[in-house]
Amino acid sequence: MSLFANLKTDGLEESQDRIGGFGAIESDIVTGVVKAFYAGKSTGGAHSITAVVTLEGGKEYRETVYITNKKGENFFLNKNDTSKKVPLPGFTIADDFCLATTGLPLADQVFEEKVLNIYDYDARKELPKGVQVAMEVVGKTISLGVLKELHNKNEKKGDEYVATAETVERNAIDKVFHTESKKTIVELKNGAEEAQFWDKWLETNKGKTRDRREIKDGQAGNSSKTPPKAGEASAAPAKKSLFGK
């Protein structure tokens, strides 16, 4: 049974191709080979997926996305129509990641425990740790639309994190592409004859930095928030692949 067999897309609104508004790389579509794709859980109970991709040229790209809230739900309710369940952005990224590499969704991935070097925030270094890895995803080629973003640096005060006026640069996966066809999962599902969103994404985002800061230059920092922290499985019946395999 898959680790995330309960996180299906049934009943969720369909994702769409939309142009959204550590030495971070410039905004671009990057291609690489998946080195790791493993599950984790925050102290608050939200489930996550961490992807590590070795990019062309040898640079390593790593990102953790949250695929559920603390209740274990992979969706939120549309504020304009609460009868509609909208998939969490992190869940869509992880699900598309699986579909683009294996043809099967996250819910159908089989996870196995492997020992990987995971960064330990208390020790401030990487330490060997047993984590649940989706092995079918590992070793596959993936293309990612990665944004360079500006964020406020957080400082811990008491039990919460407070945003400061200091700026940090981060990267975030905005879109997942099937490398061979250059198509998005939406385009693949809709049977598009040619990839179109790849070029649209580049035209809109390549080389541009997105400002996600709550506190802009010259403002004092007093915004408090508690950001999520970034570290569970067996055989399943054959499923139909997106690519018909």
Does a structural domain hold residue 104? yes
At residue 200, φ and ψ (nearest 5 deg) are -65, -40
Q: What would the two tokens of residue 38 be?
A: 């493993």
**Is residue 14 a part of any domain in this protein?**
no
Beta bridge partners of 92: none
What pLDDT score does 184 carry? 98
Asked if residue 51 lies in contact with residue 26, where contact means CB atoms within 8 angstroms, the answer is no
Residue 6 lies in a domain: no
Domains of the chain: total: 1
In a domain, 166, yes or no: yes
User: Is 4 within the bounds of a domain?
Assistant: no
Residue 241 inside a domain? The answer is no
CA distance 176 to 183: 9
> Has this prediction a pTM greater than 0.85?
no
Q: Are 43 and 229 in contact (CB under 8 A)?
A: yes
235 pLDDT higher than 50:
no
Residue 10 maps to a domain:
no
What is the total residue count of the chain?
Answer: 245
List the structure tokens of 152.
Answer: 């406020």
Residue 18: closest CA among 122, 167, 132, 174: 174
Written as six digits, the tokens of 101 are: 């590499």
Q: Distance (Å, rounded) from C-alpha 77 to C-alpha 30?
A: 32
- Beta strands 209-211 and 141-157 are parallel
What's the CA gap between 54 and 137, in Å, rounded?
A: 13
Domain span at residue 158?
A: 28-225
Q: What is the pLDDT of residues 133-167, one digit of tens each?
A: 999 999 999 999 999 999 999 888 887 888 899 99
Which range has the worst mean pLDDT, 14-23, 36-45, 112-121? 14-23
What is the per-residue pLDDT across 64-106, written as a single tens digit (0 to 9) for each?
999 999 999 999 999 999 899 999 999 999 999 999 999 999 9
Other Cβ atoms within 10 Å of 9 Cβ, number: 18
Alpha-carbon distance 90 to 5, whole Å?
17
Instruction: Please check whether residue 15 lies inside any domain of the structure.
Output: no
Least confident of 39-43, 123-127, 233-237: 233-237
Q: For the ranges 5-9, 60-64, 177-181, which has the lowest average pLDDT?
A: 5-9
Percent of the chain with pLDDT over 70: 80
